[in-house]
Amino acid sequence: MQGAEAIVPGAGLLAGVDEAGRGPLVGNVVAAAVILDPHRPIAGLADSKRLSARRREQLGGLIRERALAWSIACATAAEIDTLNILHATMLAMQRAVAGLAVAPQLALIDGNRCPALLCPAASVVKGDSRVAAISAASILAKVERDRQMQQLHQQFPEYGFARHKGYPTPEHLAALSRLGALPEHRRSFRPVREQLSRESHV
């Protein structure tokens, strides 16, 4: 994995930014921003999707402990429905960067789009596997998003959120059809929209 300096020489304080939860039918989209401390390296940073849940939890603790600054922020299901998922994701990223205790001089964003920020920003395709700070952000965002799904599972265990994390799996779609949509479901997403339409015609 490349260090940030290999991509943007002399960047100074650099924040990596990533999100989790664009694809699910329920809950927040979660973004994280991380400024790593070069004097306190963290071994094993990688794209959060390639790590086990246990390893993500372990690395998440190290990131919180060793990073110069970190921040996690969300955009709600209601904001997703109002803005659309892309703009809500950009909003969550803006909030995450704004929440950093240390102002970055540059933000590197995973993917091919950048939110409007107060500091310069650049997108990095597959950045979560190329830039350590983005990998750290992807881990924090995924850990927080999974935690929120565990909480929702405790409230509504019959939907199986702890297993599918809100993604449109056969189990989730069957529960949605059988039990109906929750307030936390994203009404602008087609399976939820279609379910609500069926409910309105009953």
DSSP codes, 13-47? SEEEEEEE-SS-SBS-EEEEEEE--TTS--TT---
What sign does the CA torsion over 135, 140, 145, 150 have?
A: positive
Cβ 35 vs Cβ 102: under 8 Å: yes
Closest CA to 56 of 46, 65, 71: 46
pLDDT at position 4 is 42
pLDDT at position 46 is 80
According to DSSP H, which parts of 125-169 are helical?
Answer: 132-155, 161-164
C-alpha to C-alpha distance for 73 and 99, rounded to whole angstroms: 8
DSSP run (H or E) holding 27: none
C-alpha to C-alpha distance for 166 and 43, rounded to whole angstroms: 30
Query: pLDDT (tens digit, 0 to 9) for every residue of the chain, 202 residues total?
Result: 544 433 445 557 999 999 999 999 999 999 999 999 999 999 999 878 889 999 999 999 999 999 999 999 999 999 999 999 999 999 999 999 999 999 999 999 999 999 999 999 999 999 999 999 999 999 999 999 999 999 999 999 999 999 999 999 999 999 999 999 999 999 999 999 999 998 887 6
- And the tokens for 112? 């091919």
Instruction: Read off the pTM.
Output: 0.93
Beta partners for 137? Answer: none
What one-character DSSP code corresponds to residue 144?
Answer: H
pLDDT at position 5 is 39
pLDDT at position 10 is 57
